[in-house]
Amino acid sequence: MSTDHDSPYDLLGDDHDDGHRWAFGTGFTDPLEGIDTAVPAGVDRAALARYCLALGDDALIYSHRLQQWVTRMPELEEETAIANIALDLLGQARMLLARAGGILGRTEDQLAFFRDAGDFRNVRLAEHDDRDFAELVGRLLIFSAWRLALFEALEASPDPVLAAIAAKGAKELAYHRDYAARWVVRLGDGTPLSHRRMQDALAAIWPLAGELFQPDADARAAMPPAAVAPAAEPAAAVDAVIDTVLAAGGLDRPGAAPLAGAVGRAGRDGVHTEAMGDILAELQSLARAHPDATW
């Protein structure tokens, strides 16, 4: 390898880590390539697949919503930050859909592009169309705080593949939560206008947050046994994080009731907001117009 460099930046871009130049293209297409994907004995395969599908759908739909902000952000630097977060979530979606698909006998692309809205299991919070930057960061704070708490518990999952995905994702989510928290505090503690808009944003997001803490029967297959029973505990941990951030920003915790589902069914059951159709139309139309195309 040459050590002559015209630019010090080239030097920094050198291979630091045994050939992992992942950012410049890897050539492999299976996100779980080279990993032993056997499901351990005693784990409910169908429930594990449904659970991975739900977490993968959360990430896929949320990532798409963030991608829609690209070119619309108030500052170039923030746009890169949001694009990075969208890419992190897309990476999580790929691995989780591949894990679910491996059990269900479908590829990640088939799951992402050739299912209809009623088959998607994401929470409705992931679908929300942020009206302004305050909603973007408020929603991201709630979502990433919840998902980080969940992934930290899943690091002890009886399924080693899911445990590894969770361990990798937790590092990403910790940054997402930090990014969102900084902006919620900055807007909440900023000018009277930014404070009002941040408070309004939280009020708009709040009804969607209740769904995150609904007990999920499929979690039994994915979670370590100790974490399954007390479903209230992750909620309490997430609440503590959010309350800390709100207090730092001088913001009040909204009291809005959770958004009702249709006859008790919500996002995890395939019942979505009307925004879901538009998201899927944009997300899936190219793949459906040119099935099996490569680029």
By CB under 8 A, name the binding residues for other proteins.
8-9, 11-14, 16-17, 20, 22-24, 75-78, 80-81, 84, 179, 182, 186
CB 208 within 8 A of CB 125: yes
Question: Closest separation between CB of residue 190 and other proteins, Å?
Answer: 10
Environment class of residue 37 by beta-carbon count within 10 Å: exposed (0-12), middle (13-18) or buried (19+)?
Answer: middle
CA pair distance 18, 92, nearest whole angstrom = 23
Question: For 49, how many CA atoms within 13 A lie in the half-sphere containing its CB?
Answer: 17
Q: Which residue has the tokens 């990433």?
A: 144
Question: Closest separation between CB of residue 9 and other proteins, Å?
Answer: 5
Q: Which of 122, 158, 153, 143 is nearest to 230 (CA)?
A: 153
CA pair distance 295, 283, nearest whole angstrom = 16
Question: Closest separation between CB of residue 84 and other proteins, Å?
Answer: 5
Cα distance from N-terminal residue to C-terminal residue, the chain: 30
Output b/e per residue, 202-212; b: 16+ Cβ within 10 A.
bebbbbbbbbb
Question: Closest separation between CB of residue 158 and other proteins, Å?
Answer: 32
CB 109 within 8 A of CB 30: no
Nearer to other proteins, 198 or 276 (CB): 198
Nearer to other proteins, 12 or 293 (CB): 12
Question: Closest separation between CB of residue 172 and other proteins, Å?
Answer: 12
CB 211 within 8 A of CB 125: yes
Structure tokens at 7: 């630019």
Reduced DSSP (H G I as helix, E B as strand, rest coil) percent helix, strand, coil of the chain, to 5: 65, 0, 35
Question: Closest separation between CB of residue 80 and other proteins, Å?
Answer: 5
Nearer to other proteins, 191 or 294 (CB): 191
Question: Closest separation between CB of residue 13 and other proteins, Å?
Answer: 6
Q: Which residue has the tokens 């996100």?
A: 31
